[in-house]
Amino acid sequence: MNTNDVIIAPASSAGTGAISVFRISGKNLKELLSGLLPLEDTEPRRIRKFLLKDLSGRIIDEITFIRYVAPASYTGEDMVEIFSHGGTANTRRILEFFASRGLRIAEPGEFTFRALLNGKLSLTKAESIDKICKSENIAELDSALEGYTGKTDEEFEDLYRRFTDLYGDIIAEAEFSEDETDISRFRVRIEELAKRVEELVNTYERLSMLYEGADIVIAGKTNVGKSSLFNRLVGEERSIVTEIEGTTRDVVDKKVYFGNIALRFADTAGLRESGDVVELLGQKKTHEEIKKAALILYMTDVEKTLDEADKRIISEYRDRIILVVNKIDLSESFILEGYDRVFYISAKYDRGTEDLKRGIRDYILSLADLNSKSVLFSRRQYNLFVNIRTALLKALKIIDERGVLDIIISELSEAKRSFESLTGNSMDEDIYSGIFSRFCIGK
């Protein structure tokens, strides 16, 4: 990516709006903008009103702008921020006007990328800025803010320091120790690191589930009303409902919000003996959904008793099942004995569904505290920490099996690489484009 030219981008979101903001950044900005904006006699960091005109003197818009002089700017380069009237046509014309004068329209994240190159911010802070702009709920936002204020970097640096000390000691042991080395004395330090890494990974998993969408699967025998309930829960007629058994043959899913938590409901093929190949494939998918779900709504109706197959699933996934008895309009007195988390509803006539919704929400919230914060706030950080965890656990296993030092070192080098790309100490082009290309335009 070229970092020597002058870039421009709208920094406000597209569409009809009150004000459009543009950012311009680059080393030779003054020359390029001469004749367009009166930069020479504009004091830095003071807002100035100006009538923006094209080269023939025709007025484009009345704007205000601020001039920044390197290195005191967001990117660390000379910068200008322009505030114009909003609107699609106006924004496009201003952008095109500057582009026609030799400014390049910036790629997503290019301003922040330059800021990183110029040492204005850390990689973690850069990622947090992207996350702040994209957070849809407060828990996610608060975790990103910890990244912005430097708390996350502190934690990463502390962990990394502990890791490199350990790594250095082990390397030294391998190089200088003359006797048979006793690697088990490193065990406790690796274990402590692994424990902290595990905590970070777990907290992220629990919280991200709340904002990315906890998986909730609706399963049970055919015709008990799974698709009817699914449609009620997602608030639209999404899944086909008929009295014919085996109607739903594939997984139908939809993400919805219950207040501030995201839930992904999946309607599945009913479980029964069947000779139909497609239906059997559907049932296989049902089992896969059940395995990965945070919560299973296992459904039956007042006309059926639970058979052995039902009971097997219920006992296998006991901890994350809510039992739902449907069609209470047909029999008021039906009671399922011997189970504690049971809801009685009529999906068709919308009875008991509000209680069930509350039950679902309470269950999911019991898995993660929406007010807690996660040190990790991006999927990229999470994936790197999962790698670090794997490497540390492997190293522990090798120690326990009295394996050789070289293999431990190779596992730890794996962790070291992940740590380095976490903080940006080692960055290749791919990682850069992987992070910044997803940013908003103008960031």
Ligand X SMILES: Nc1nc2c(ncn2[C@@H]2O[C@H](COP(=O)(O)OP(=O)(O)O)[C@@H](O)[C@H]2O)c(=O)[nH]1
- For 408, residues 6+ apart whose C-beta sits below 8 A from its C-beta are 170, 183, 186, 395, 398, 399
Half-sphere exposure of 333 (CA within 13 A, CB side): 0
Three-class DSSP category at 373:
coil
- For 375, residues 6+ apart whose C-beta sits below 8 A from its C-beta are 143, 146, 151, 152, 155, 200, 203, 204
Count of residues binding ligand X (CB under 6 A)?
21
Q: Of these, 63, 139, 241, 392, which contacts ligand X (CB under 6 A)?
A: 241
Q: Does 348 sit near ligand X (CB under 6 A)? A: yes
How many CB atoms are closer than 10 A to CB 315? 9
String of contacts with ligand X for each residue 214-233, x by CB under 6 A: --------xxxxxxx-----
String of contacts with ligand X for each residue 306-345, x by CB under 6 A: --------------------xx-xx---------------
Residue closer to ligand X, measured from CB, 172 or 330:
330
Q: Which does 257 bind (CB under 5 to 8 A by kind): ligand X, Mg ion, none?
A: none
Round to whole Å and give the CA distance between 155 and 171.
Answer: 24
Q: Does 243 sit near ligand X (CB under 6 A)? A: yes
Are the C-beta atoms of 229 and 322 separated by less than 8 Å?
Answer: no
Q: How far is the CB of 262 from Mg ion (least distance, A)?
A: 23
Segment interacting with ligand X (CB under 6 A) among 8-16, 152-160, 243-251, 417-425 = 243-251
Segment interacting with ligand X (CB under 6 A) among 21-29, 56-64, 155-163, 346-354 = 346-354
What is the per-residue DSSP string for 179-225? S---GGGGHHHHHHHHHHHHHHHHHHHHHHHHHH-EEEEEEESTTSS
Q: How far is the CB of 17 from ligand X (least distance, A)?
A: 44
Element (H, E) at 152: helix 151-176
Residue closer to Mg ion, measured from CB, 112 or 248:
248
Q: Does 276 sit near ligand X (CB under 6 A)? A: no
How many helices and strands in the chain, by DSSP H and E? 14, 12
Alpha carbon distances (Å) from 317 to 87, 293, 320, 322, 367:
54, 10, 6, 10, 16
Q: How far is the CB of 64 from ligand X (least distance, A)?
A: 59
Q: How far is the CB of 214 from ligand X (least distance, A)?
A: 21
Q: Does 213 sit near ligand X (CB under 6 A)? A: no
Segment interacting with ligand X (CB under 6 A) among 44-52, 119-127, 238-246, 373-381 = 238-246
Q: Which does 327 bind (CB under 5 to 8 A by kind): ligand X, Mg ion, none?
A: ligand X
**267 φ, ψ (degrees, to nearest 5):** -95, 135
Q: Does 248 sit near ligand X (CB under 6 A)? A: yes
Residue of minimal CB distance from Mg ion?
248
* Residues counted in the chain: 443
Site for Mg ion in 95-114 (CB under 5 A): none
Closest of 76, 52, 79, 51 to residue 67, by C-alpha: 79
Are the C-beta atoms of 396 and 191 separated by less than 8 Å?
Answer: yes
Count of residues binding Mg ion (CB under 5 A)?
4
Site for ligand X in 94-153 (CB under 6 A): none
Q: Of these, 3, 137, 247, 433, which contacts ligand X (CB under 6 A)?
A: 247
Q: Does 372 sit near ligand X (CB under 6 A)? A: no
Q: How far is the CB of 9 from ligand X (least distance, A)?
A: 49
Q: How far is the CB of 306 from ligand X (least distance, A)?
A: 15
Q: Of these, 346, 378, 381, 421, which contacts ligand X (CB under 6 A)?
A: 346
Residue closer to ligand X, measured from CB, 37 or 218:
218
Are the C-beta atoms of 326 and 345 separated by less than 8 Å?
Answer: yes
Alpha carbon distances (Å) from 62 to 19, 37, 79, 259, 315:
11, 12, 19, 42, 70
Residue closer to Mg ion, measured from CB, 242 or 260:
242
Residue type, 306: L
How many CB atoms are closer than 10 A to CB 432? 17
Residue closer to ligand X, measured from CB, 248 or 421:
248
Q: How far is the CB of 301 from ligand X (least distance, A)?
A: 7
Three-class DSSP category at 63:
strand
Q: Does 374 sit near ligand X (CB under 6 A)? A: no
How many CB atoms are closer than 10 A to CB 86? 18
Q: How far is the CB of 344 from Mg ion (least distance, A)?
A: 20
Site for Mg ion in 210-249 (CB under 5 A): 226-227, 247-248
| Chain residues in the site for ligand X (CB under 6 A) | 222-228, 241-243, 247-248, 270, 326-327, 329-330, 346-349
| Chain residues in the site for Mg ion (CB under 5 A) | 226-227, 247-248
